[in-house]
Structure 1
């Protein structure tokens, strides 16, 4: 399921779950030239909101007309098409790729996607704490404890914490409460965004907090990379890792932007 959701047009763009590897693979295939001049949006009676390139509706990798939930989402997709220059580079169109994933994949497999997010919550990043040094312990607690407090108050889910990487079994009631919350968010575009944020951060709880507007995407992104940033501060920066993080951050912000657009109406 995760491989499918990483990029449904893998056959066209030689996809890979790792954004840096995906970028390298992308370079092996010739990018299509921009073939259109005008990018517009429209609400059609029989389908819904669509993006049009020189009057023709944009289609998904599976060949279906991409029907979008509202005008705000259509504008996000249209803006990405309009921003393309001589070549069309799907790596610079994260909202469009996410919309394709929602339309072609999540719409017919919502239960499986929901279960995938739920699996993350059983070993959520926020539950695994450093044993030392004290400064890192405090940094994790400062960023992660407020999210766990929100989860406890809003979802009624109390998560257990562990030191290190030893797995801690979460109470059945806790995971059940997360499942109830998730099922209310099973609309394909919303669920696709939650799934992507979960995969990128390693935390279903951070993703759900962003979706609920309890946390902004930038704060969630920083919270998810406390350990990584700590290592950079003390051991230096790896250019490849930095490039990879930048690509993943772009996709995270696209998922958050999609949720904002879904809530626009």
Structure 2
């Protein structure tokens, strides 16, 4: 309900925030090392990005590390067109929550456009974290937080896809 309340009277503000998020999407920022992580990001993220780029007719700018990479205005405009097609308030609330929980407008749009399923989107969003878990092991508190976020994500996906 709180997600719906936040969207009900603010459709355009929510849509604008989703588009702004695309301007610094997590999938556009890549590791420089270790090589295994770089390869995993390329294998999982590149096909998703390429499929969405084909849908929107534009190319996202990739960056290594945390240096800001300005996305082309044409790409942001194309993202805005796609976001404008998401029905408000229910699906739009779901879209916003999926984007927030995955850190990615790209993943949210790929999901909403049927380019990826919910499980694959969740896995793609947590690729870096899962890599670190493989190296260092699972932290119990982090696992509990992630389980809670997963329930929120599943609810958001339901709103996005059926709203």
Shift of 1:165: 0.8
Report Cα offsets for 1:11-32 as digits up to 9, x if no partner: xxxxxxxxxxxxxxxxxxxxxx
CA–CA distance in 1 between the matches of 2:48 and 2:89? Answer: 25
Counterpart selection for 1:217 from 118, 122, 128: 118
Shift of 1:248: 0.6
* Mapped contact 1:114–1:186 kept (Cα < 8 A): no
* Mapped contact 1:110–1:186 kept (Cα < 8 A): no
Q: TM-score, normalised by structure 2?
A: 0.95
Q: 1:261 to 1:185 in 2, by over 3 A?
A: closer
Q: TM-score, normalised by structure 1?
A: 0.59
- For residues 99-178 of structure 1, what are the structure 2 equivalents within 5 Å? 100-102=2-4, 104-178=5-79
Q: How many aligned residue pairs are there?
A: 163
Higher helix share: 2
- Which structure has the greater CA radius of gyration? 1
SS of 1:215's equivalent?
A: coil
CA–CA distance in 2 between the matches of 1:204 and 1:137? Answer: 21
Which consecutive unaligned segments of at least 5 residues does structure 1 have?
1-96
CA–CA distance in 2 between the matches of 1:185 and 1:154? Answer: 15
RMSD over equivalenced CA pairs, Å: 1.2
What does residue 253 of structure 1 align with? Answer: 154
